[in-house]
Amino acid sequence: MKAVQSVDSKSIRKMLDQNKNTEFFLSVCVSCGMCADSCFLYVNNNKDPSYMPSYKAVHSLGRLYRKKGKVSLKELEDMKDLIWNKCVLCTRCYCPVGISIPSMIAQARSICRSQGICREYDQVEQPKQL
């Protein structure tokens, strides 16, 4: 049984303010979509846009910045799938403008972890149909 959790927006805000360069990266990202082909997960999952490096960063850390940390537990749960299951932090993604995408995903992971949301290794995964 899961313990009832609540999101501490203040601490999320504090963590967001600590790392200024990821905020800078998000303000610079031109959403050109050129990082897509550098992600092997994107290439091997029928080019599903949700595997795109910029998608993962914009819809996790970007959302946290947009909402200034005021997110619900469900939103953090949704991010979990994006930043753990859809990214392995291999750091092979490239950006034509020079943004470091893995550092944004790593920060989103830290924030989720600080709220008690992290990857569950003991869950039973359904086998993928190939």
Partner 1 sequence: MYDFLIGPMLAFSLVVFVAGVWYRVHQFFSLSKESKIDLSCLPKIISDSIDNREKDEYIRINSATDLLLKWKLRLKRTFLGKHPFFSAVTIIFHSILILLPIVTVGHNVLLDDYFGFSFPTLSESSVDQLTLLFIVLFFFFFLRRIFSARVRSVTTYRDYIALLATGLPFITGYLAYHQVFSYDIMLYLHIICGELMLIAIPFTKLVHMPFFILSRFFIRYELTFGSGTRKWVENS
CB of 44 to partner 1, least distance (A): 15
DSSP 8-state assignment for residue 118: -
Binding to partner 1 by residue 14, rule CB under 8 A?
A: no
Binding to partner 1 by residue 12, rule CB under 8 A?
A: no
Q: Using CB under 8 A, which of the segments 5-13, 71-79, 82-90, 95-103 binds partner 1? A: 95-103
Binding to partner 1 by residue 45, rule CB under 8 A?
A: no
Binding to partner 1 by residue 46, rule CB under 8 A?
A: no
Copy the structure tokens of residue 94: 């490239």
With CB under 8 A as the contact rule, the residue among 97, 113, 118, 119 that binds partner 1 is 97
CB of 6 to partner 1, least distance (A): 26
Instruction: Name the residue with tokens 């609540």.
Output: 6
Q: Using CB under 8 A, which of the segments 2-10, 76-84, 92-100, 118-126 binds partner 1? A: 92-100
With CB under 8 A as the contact rule, the residue among 31, 44, 72, 85 that binds partner 1 is 31
Classify residue 55 as exposed, middle or buried by CB count within 10 Å of its CB (0-12, 13-18, 19+). Answer: buried
Instruction: Name the residue with tokens 């082909």.
Output: 37
- DSSP per-residue string spanning 66-108: HTTT---HHHHHHHHIIIIIS---------TT---HHHHHHHH
